[in-house]
Amino acid sequence: MLGERIGNVSARLLAASGCAARSFNARVRGVGIAKVVFRLDGKKIKAVKKGSLFSARVNPQKLSLGVHRLVATVTFQASRHAKSRTLRASFQRCGKRLVAPRFTG
């Protein structure tokens, strides 16, 4: 008698890193994904259940200066028999850069 066939699963988080000045999409792409929950600094911002590309929009202009952490909890399809995975990314909201004045003489 054949055992249950366990399918492969994968998940990858694509998000901004370093200084993020403009809005960006945090995306999770993979195989066998049933649901993705996005959290920004511990607060849930979006839960996505359908599609092959799971995404959430992040606007750094609404955040305070400093480092922010984005966590995506990926739940796989029950038929895949895989544990959920937590994917992490961090980015910064930087202050305005100081530019030295150009004196002409």
Does the structure show a pLDDT above 70 at 4? no
Residue type, 8: N
Question: Which residue in 8, 19, 30 sits closest to 87, CA to CA?
Answer: 30
User: Could you give the CA distance from residue 63 to residue 93 in angstroms, rounded to a whole number?
Assistant: 7
Q: Give residue limits of the domains in the chain.
A: 10-93
DSSP H or E run through 85: strand 85-93
Pick the CATH number of 10-93 from 3.40.190.10, 3.40.50.2020, 2.60.40.10, 2.40.340.10: 2.60.40.10
Residues above pLDDT 90, as percent of the chain: 67
pLDDT of 6 reads 54
pTM: 0.82
pLDDT digit string (tens) for 44-102?
999 999 877 899 999 999 999 999 999 999 999 998 889 999 999 999 998 877 777 78
